Chains A and B, each alone.
Chain A
Amino acid sequence: MLLYIMEFAELIKTPRVDGVVLHRPFMPTVEGTLCLTGHHLILSSRQDNTEELWLLHSNIDSIEKRFVGSLGHITVKCKDLRVIQLEITGMEECLNIASSIEALSTLDLVSLMYPFFYRPMFEVIEDGWNSFLPQNAFKDLESMTDEWRLSEVNKDFSLCPSYPPLVAVPKDFDDETLKKVATFRHGGRFPVLSYYHKKNGMVMMRAGQPLTGTNGRRCKEDEKLINATLRPGKRGYIIDTRAINVAQQAKARGGGFELEANYPQWRRIHKAIERYNVLQESLIKLVEACNDQSHSMDRWLSKLEASNWQTNVKEILTTACLAAQCIDREGASVLVHGTEGTDSTLQVTSLAQIILDPGCRTVKGFQSLVEREWLQAGHPFQQRCAQSAFSNSKPRHEAPVFLLFLDCVWQILRQFPCSFEFNESFLVLLFEHAYASQFGTFLGNSAAERARLCLPEKTVSLWSWVNRPQELERLTNPLYEPNSLVIWPSVAPQSLLLWEGVFLRWNRSSKCLDEAYEEMVHIIEYNKELQTKVNSLRRQLAQLETEDPLLHTP
């Protein structure tokens, strides 16, 4: 550990500069002392020694420097889309600060990240690392059906490096069969259970693409495995998140899709969900449009259109609705996959569950969903969230897949404002922590990597922090009323809005909206209080009436 601290020290040429002026959106300008530590950029005003700014280096997406005489301006653009300016007197100081920030914000080594150094200042009531273990989730499943078992075939991550050690598979399939199926699926991602629909016993599974290649290789075990989830005489649906031509092209690289001839009981539907660079560029364009200062309505609307972000939201939601429809309305089982099965596949399976399962719309249920369908299911968070919309470096594996998922959840939440136990702030919080955090939850790219890094032992879980009463209170939706129904969001383009809470968060003052929200919370709480009072008065009255029968006779 000491070694690391020494390494940071090397990167910090000027740890402290006085008289730095900080400009932030919708906040007064502050002058103070700027300090750089291994993980933070801190600005404290000299007057009362309070920190005005405490920014994780890992939250910094890019910086720009500019000089006017000897006054240096550093623009810091954050992954949470905030843009702040620092004015530093002295060219050398400014250059030193800038190069330190650049170096510290792009450290690649995971074990140097802040979560390994962070010690919680709060009491951990419930350790988040143990809150959502697969074996516990499986207990719920067992109470509903005995057709599935929990397999340990991947316990050393050798069969499928991106799967967790425990996965749910059809009961009648032994581990040997699973091993064979794994060789037939991209990245070893053989079909596993994602969701069991209690209402009709239908299931949703997910996998990687089948490796049919150009000569149409087949795998009997794979066919049997997924057929085992069908009811006699019933057909299932395979939702391929790629357009048909993309899926065709994948054959040349060894991938492919399930041929009708070999999977006669399945109907395949292709949906085109964008991936990788295309999504990253969409985000970059959107954020650029949101920060456009030109005041022209036409320009804004064309830029919004050109970014294609809303189209991406719509396509993902539409596909999720399709999956949910197959399960709930058609009474059919569904298998979802794209190429690797770690991005668009997870968007679809997790959103479908939000639509179908009221349990996923509670705070805990949603955490559990993120844990199951994103973290344990192997979404490579570290690669996807390495850079956000302001980065100048060439995108490699970056893509706002998780942000798009959160955006889709927000669209549903907005359309069903009473059906979710959590509010928009919770979604924004997850967005922030996926990109930069003091907690270890979103570190690493898979369960295997997290195990290697010993995250549960060495870092604090985001859930440990969130699941405390004071945080929960802030993240709970005051309008929530449990709704046991399936909720079908409208996916008409007219119904989908730009998620202002993230994309315009730093461009507009939210003071008035926050006040209104607080007022609403206040009204609802007061209402509850009065309700309780009325109930107790009624009870008292009833009691008095029974005690004193004379009251009835005038």
Chain B
Amino acid sequence: MEFAEHIKTANVEDVVLRQPLQPPSRGTLCITGHHLLFSDREESDSRQVLLLLRNIDAIEKRMSGSSGTITMKCKDLRVLQLDIPGMEQCLNIAHSIETLSCLDCVSAMYPFFYRPVDLSLPEQWGLSSPEMHYSQMKELYEKWRLSTVNRDYSVCPSYPPAVIVPKSIDDDTLKKAAKFRQGGRFPVLCYYHKKNGMVIMRSSQPLLGANRKRCKEDELLLQAVIEGSDKGYIIDTRSMQQAQQARMTGGGFESKSFYDRWKRFHRQMERGKALQESLIKLVEACGDESNNMDRWLSKLENSKWLSHVQNALSTAGLLVECVERDGHSVLVHGSEGTDCSLLISTLAQLIMDPCCRTMEGFLGLLEREWIQARHPFQQRCAHSAYSHARLQQESPVFLLLLDCVWQLWRQFPLALGFSEALLLRLATEVYASDYGTFLCNSDQERCALEVKERTHCLFRALLRPTERDYYSNPLYERTELAIWPSVHPQSLQLWKGYFLRWTQQVRHLEEAQEEIRNMVIEWGKLARS
């Protein structure tokens, strides 16, 4: 195997492993192509640690005398330490971890090798497809159609082969509209609000450029969206100034003169590098051991993470207000339409639509809005908060989404069918996984690499009965109402379950939740017998 050349020392005896919340243990360390395996020699209460190398964000090595210490900082924010006897062995291990943890080749990644005995490769990958989704939404038939204009990914490489568009717009018009939008991401339907027939559309920015080009087809397409209504809203996730500057690089925004029935709001949302830096600062603050309250609170403030959470939730709130309260359709976009647009359209759907709040509903929503609509997971999640590597495309947009969902869950503990444990699992899987769900940057790439044929799907695995029990919310009671989150700064909290997961006190809370969960399971068993 090609991995072998990176592994000079596969086994080391007498290694001491230190990990949070547990006493240090001594045992054997093995390195394989994808894993770091540690097992201690205790006869009775034997412990094993199996860590995906992909989960390791950064390592530090320190030599003292003839032994060495490797500190591994993981993408799930855990910090592990290995004390390894023998300098050469230690260097070899460190080198293997460094190389194997950031292999670039997708097809060499673990999901392609993961073959659990109790699971055969799926007939159907994923929970649904645009076709199935459309066929289940009878309300759409009258005014909307499923277009396969992108069946070979030529119109928009980042869209799935089938998308939902207004019935009156033919594929030629779509092709022309696509040329007018960055990356070909022409406006498509992402949510239909059954209560009033209004919709959420998303796209990328229009390519006006400095000389204010226009595109009749794009205007027609948007016109068709609000047919029969007096107006629509556009939520641009950039500030007015940023949107204007985008014209210099060929982008822009929908001007009033050509889109006169659309009212535009600008809401600046942080993205890209700024978000990644915010995460790095937050994690650094959480790991601060100075035991000083002022320092902690100013570092927390300084990281701006909670401001980003607040901003995302309030922009989603604006979107919901337009659709649910004001009764108008909305188009959402920023620049590329693959980050903030997805974030707020997902949150808005959770707030409005009770179907998205069950476990299947939520995973289905993630599949539609993030996997099919293409969030570039591989680029965004290549590194997490500890990496020293120069930032490229990394950005914790998906993590920010999970944090916002957690805030919703905290404010409405009965309304969501899943628990915090699911959010934590997703936050871990998105950075390093046995499953193929978060591999690649788009549907097209996934097809090229046969991800759907050769890997397991996380969402399907999570819906198996045992897993489902574990991740469901015992307190869940469906409500048809919109769940309007409070976005007052005082109402938002740090997501301790994730950011302080490896500290003692969070553990006690987990135990309490575990207790309730066990009771419910017990209850279910008793009720059946």
**Contact at A512–B412, with CB atoms within 8 Å?**
yes
Q: Which residue of B lies closest to A291 (CB)?
A: B490
User: A493 near B504 (CB under 8 angstroms)?
Assistant: no
A301-B489 in contact given A417-B508, A493-B297 (Cβ < 8 Å): yes
Q: Mark B487-517, 1 if CB is under 8 A from A, else 0.
A: 1111111001000100111001101100110
Q: With both chains docked as a complex, state the minimum distance between the C-beta of B499 and any C-beta of chain A, in angstroms.
A: 8
The answer to whether residues A297 and B297 also contact, given A415-B505, A523-B519, A534-B526 and a CB cut-off of 8 A, is no
Residue of B nearest to A495 (CB): B505
Q: How far is the CA of A403 from the CA of B429 in the complex (A)?
A: 43
Q: Is A42 an interface residue (CB 8 A)?
A: no
Q: Is A524 an interface residue (CB 8 A)?
A: yes
Q: Is A513 an interface residue (CB 8 A)?
A: yes
Check A151 for interface membership: any CB of B closer than 8 A: no
A9 interface residue, CB < 8 Å from B? no
Interface size on B, residues (CB 8 A): 50
Give the interface segment out of B3-11, B286-294, B366-374.
B286-294
Q: Which residues of A contact B503 (CB under 8 A)?
A: 490, 492, 494-495
Chain A residues positioned under 8 Å from B412 (CB to CB): 512
Q: How far is the CB of A166 from chain B (nearest CB, A)?
A: 38
* Contacting residues, chain A, for B307 (C-beta < 8 A): 297-298
* CB of B32 within 8 Å of the partner chain: no
Q: Does A526 contact B (CB under 8 A)?
A: yes
For the complex, what is the distance from the CA of A471 to the CA of B508, rounded to whole Å? Answer: 28
Asked if residues B413 and A495 are in contact (CB atoms below 8 Å), the reply is no
Q: What is the 8 Å Cβ interface bit string for chain B, positions 457-495, against chain A (1 contact, 0 not)?
A: 000000000000000001101000000001111111100
B301 within 8 Å of A by Cβ?
A: yes
Chain A neighbourhood of B221, CB < 8 A: none
**Nearest chain-A residue to B477 (Cβ)?**
A519
Interface flag for A396 (CB, 8 Å): no
The answer to whether A456 has its CB under 8 Å from any CB of chain B is: no
- Contact across chains for A523 and B306 when beta carbons are under 8 A apart: no
Q: Tell me whether A361 is interfacial, beta carbon within 8 Å.
A: no
Identify which of A32-40, A302-310, A352-360 touches chain B. A302-310
B493 nearest CB across to chain A (Å): 8
Distance in Å: Cβ of B90 to nearest Cβ of chain A = 31
Contact of A418 among B289, B505, B511 (CB under 8 A): B511
How far apart are A375's CB and chain B's nearest CB, in angstroms? 30
Q: Tell me, yes or no, whether B411 is within 8 Å of chain A by CB.
A: yes
**Cβ B508 vs Cβ A415 within 8 A:** yes
Any B CB within 8 A of the CB of A311? yes
B515 touches A479 (CB 8 A): yes
Q: Are B488 and A295 in contact (CB under 8 A)?
A: yes
- Cβ-based interface call for A182 (8 A): no
Least CB distance from A139 to B in Å reads 34
CA distance A495 to B477 in the complex (A): 30
Evaluate contact between B526 and A520: CB separation under 8 angstroms. no
- Least CB distance, B19 to chain A, in whole angstroms: 18
B490 proximity list for chain A (CB < 8 A) = 290, 292, 300, 504, 507-508
User: How would residues 418 to 442 of chain A score, 1 for a CB under 8 Å from any chain B CB and 0 otherwise?
Assistant: 1000000000000000000000000
Question: Which residue of chain B is the closest to A533 with respect to CB atoms?
Answer: B526
Q: What is the interface of chain A mostly: helix, strand, loop, or mixed?
A: helix
Query: Quick check: is B424 within 8 A (CB to CB) of the other chain?
Result: no
B522 CB–A CB distance under 8 Å: yes
Say yes or no: A301 contacts B296, CB within 8 Å.
no
Q: For B291, what are the chain A residues with a Cβ–Cβ distance below 8 Å? A: 491-493
Chain A residues with CB under 8 Å of B300's CB are 301
Please give me the residue from chain A that is nearest to B526 by CB atom: A530
Q: Are A298 and B293 in contact (CB under 8 A)?
A: no
Q: Are B293 and A314 in contact (CB under 8 A)?
A: yes
* A419–B411 alpha-carbon span in the complex (Å): 25
Write the nearest CB–CB distance from A531 to chain B, whole angstroms.
8
List residues of chain B with CB within 8 A of the CB of A493.
291-293, 295-297
Q: Which of B58-110 contact A (CB under 8 A)?
A: none
How would residues 277 to 289 of chain B score, 1 for a CB under 8 Å from any chain A CB and 0 otherwise? 0000000001011
Do residues A523 and B474 form an inter-chain contact, with CB atoms below 8 A?
yes
User: Contact flags (1/0) for B394-429 with A, using CB distance below 8 Å?
Assistant: 000000000000000001111100000000000000
A527 contact set on B, CB distance < 8 A: 519, 522-523
Query: Which residues of chain B are near A504, meaning CB under 8 Å?
Result: 490-491
| A520 CA / B526 CA spacing, docked (Å) | 18
Question: Which of A302, A530, A534 has most B Cβ within 10 Å?
Answer: A530
Taking CB atoms and an 8 Å cut-off, the chain B residues in 190-212 that contact chain A are: none
Can you spell out 29 A-B residue pairs with CB atoms less than 8 angstroms apart? Answer: A290-B490, A292-B490, A296-B489, A297-B301, A297-B304, A301-B297, A301-B301, A302-B298, A305-B293, A305-B294, A305-B301, A308-B294, A415-B508, A415-B509, A417-B508, A418-B512, A492-B291, A493-B297, A494-B503, A495-B500, A497-B493, A504-B490, A508-B490, A512-B411, A512-B415, A516-B413, A523-B519, A527-B519, A527-B522
Beyond A297-B301, A524-B519, 12 extra complex contacts between A and B, CB < 8 Å: A295-B487, A297-B306, A301-B489, A414-B509, A417-B512, A479-B512, A489-B505, A492-B289, A493-B296, A507-B490, A516-B414, A527-B523
The 9 A-B residue pairs with the shortest CB-CB distance, nearest first, are: A516-B413, A300-B489, A493-B296, A301-B301, A305-B297, A311-B293, A297-B307, A417-B512, A493-B293
